[in-house]
Amino acid sequence: MAECTNAGTVPIARAVETGYNGSLMKPFAVDLIEEDWQVVWRFGSSGRVEHAVHRRGGVLRRAFHGGFSSQSIEVASIAEGLKATGRKYRLDESWGGVIPLADDPGPVQKIVAPLREALATLSQSRWQITVRSRSNRRLIFNRREHPQIVRWLHHTLNLKLTSPGDGRTLEFAAGSFDQPTFHLEGLLARVRNGLDAEARRRPFGSLEGVPVVLGPGDGAIFFHEVLGHSLEADYIQQGLSPFSVADLGQPVLGGEITLRTRLAGDPFFAHIPCDDEGEMAGEPVLVAGGRLRGILADTFTARTFSLPGAGHARTAGFFSPPWPRQFALYVDAGSADPRDIVAQTRRGVYAREFGDGQVMFGRGQFQFVLRDAWLIEDGEITVPLGGVTVAGPIRETLRQIGAVGNDFRLDRGASFCTKNGQTLPVRVGQPTVRIDRLTVWEGIDV
């Protein structure tokens, strides 16, 4: 029988009649050859250890000729993928790479030893530490003469604490690119703060129409969820997004706020020159002074909407065609002192740690988890509220940006995004930002 998702009601965004006729779009083709290598170490408080290495490779061949036709084939290596596709590329010494966390337990145990020692004294909870190193390399052949090369290395450390009685969990994560370095002192401080907040949390039911102050760095996940997904061109094309191309040039965010999709010097983009169709992203500014400047499009949707550039096609792997997706979203620093942002809030919520979010396009609404939220009373951060859920209408909430701080920070390097069941690392960054009106519920999203 039927299973149902995405239930809801929403005014459909203004549709733009493009007069698009697929048969008239110029054909194009992309071959993506991939090798992925992951090393996972998992340590549990019971003493159990798990170690696994995952190696995967494959080819995604995709062509557009009035409609898309594509094929995914699993192969053992890039070399086999080149053979399977008949493509030519010389894999020289610079192509290889050793994943830092390999099969010897020594280095990773050295990394987690201080954390394990501290956890033994901090809490009665059961804990699990997962350290994951991932190396991904892609050769992308398109209309260009030479293939594009995309490489990324991502290391994450995830800590889960589970209380013995009722199974409640606290989760913390940290990540890095290129080298597996984790700021363990900072992580331990977050754990101590989180345990303290859990022990002292004050029930509150719900708060309607209150300001929520998002801390710097990971707080930008809010913009990733609420604005970023709404600007993915496939959702706009299907009429699901509350935005449309007619919003280009229009004010969509409150305040003089600027968002961009790429940041010079961010190690996340060190070896990612293009998207998974081999297209370079054009203008990195998505919103300038509150006005919409761009949409996140892939080749097909860029042509459909006659946009100047594409560059936002991503796939979790060769086994799936790419869709318009975000790589990164950064909120430019503003001018406000973050201490003043809190001091000027009579009653609201301050968020230090962030969880997942989701957009319900069918309703024009979003939901977002704040894993560690605190009450603001008369300009002071007072009592912990524990994990809470914030929600609101997408367009109206984005116009409620009340203040933007001057303390820009990148996220902790462990942000991920799931779309249509495919999970990818993403990057966000922002200063302290205040949203002036949100509904806040006790409890976190299921």
Partner 1 sequence: MFDAILAAGRENGFAVVEVFAEKEEGVHFDLSPLCPSIHRQKTHRLAVRAWAERGDPVGFSLSTADAARARAQFARIRPLPPGPGKGAAVHLPAAVREVRCDIHDPAFEVFAADPVAELCSRISESLISFPGLKLVAARVSKTRQKRYLANSGGFAGKYRRTRFTLSITLRLDQRVLEVGETRVYASGLDPENLVARAHHLLEAQDGGEASFSGSELPLLLAPEAAVVLLRAFSRFCRLDLPTEGDRWVASPAVTIADHAALDGQVGSYPFDDEGVPGGETEIVRKGMMATRVNNLETAASGNRKPTGNGVRRGDPVFPRIGFSNLFIKPSVIPLDRLLSAVPAGVLVSSLRPQAVDPAIGAMTCAACGFELAGGEIGRAVRFQLVAVPRTVFLRIERVSRDLKFFCQDPNLGAPYLLAPARILGAARLQL
Site for partner 1 in 47-66 (CB under 8 A): 47-58
Which of 172, 127, 150 is CA-nearest to residue 413? Answer: 172
Q: Is 244 in the site for partner 1 (CB under 8 A)?
A: no
Binding mask 149-168 for partner 1 (x = CB under 8 A): -------------xxxxxxx
Q: Residue 224 and residue 330: Cα distance in Å, rounded?
A: 9
Q: Is 203 in the site for partner 1 (CB under 8 A)?
A: yes
Task: Report the nearest approach of partner 1 to the CB of residue 287 (Å).
Answer: 26
For partner 1, the closer CB: 1 or 264: 1
Q: Is 304 in the site for partner 1 (CB under 8 A)?
A: yes
Task: Report the nearest approach of partner 1 to the CB of residue 162 (Å).
Answer: 7
- Alpha carbon distances (Å) from 236 to 227, 294, 296, 302, 326: 12, 12, 10, 11, 14
Considering only residues 75 to 114 of the shown chain, the ones binding partner 1 according to CB under 8 A are: 75-76, 102-105
For partner 1, the closer CB: 3 or 208: 3
Given the rule CB under 8 A, which of 188-196, 280-288, 330-338, 385-393 is the region that contacts partner 1? 385-393
The token duo for 332 is 């430019």
Task: Identify the helix (H) or strand (E) that includes residue 183.
Answer: none
For partner 1, the closer CB: 8 or 289: 8
Which residue stretches of 268-322 are H helix?
A: 299-304
Task: Report the nearest approach of partner 1 to the CB of residue 184 (Å).
Answer: 23
For partner 1, the closer CB: 165 or 265: 165
Contact pick of 271, 319, 340, 419 for partner 1 (by CB under 8 A): 319
Given the rule CB under 8 A, which of 234-242, 255-263, 270-278, 341-349 is the region that contacts partner 1? 234-242
- 109 CB-near residues (< 8 Å, 6+ apart): none
Q: Residue 103 and residue 151: Cα distance in Å, rounded?
A: 21
Considering only residues 394 to 433 of the shown chain, the ones binding partner 1 according to CB under 8 A are: none
Give residue 190's Cα distance to chain centre: 21
Q: Is 199 in the site for partner 1 (CB under 8 A)?
A: no
For partner 1, the closer CB: 56 or 419: 56
State the pairing for strand pair 422-430/328-331. parallel
Task: Identify the helix (H) or strand (E) that includes residue 121.
Answer: helix 105-122
Give residue 221's Cα distance to chain centre: 7
For partner 1, the closer CB: 86 or 203: 203
Task: Identify the helix (H) or strand (E) that includes residue 154.
Answer: strand 148-162
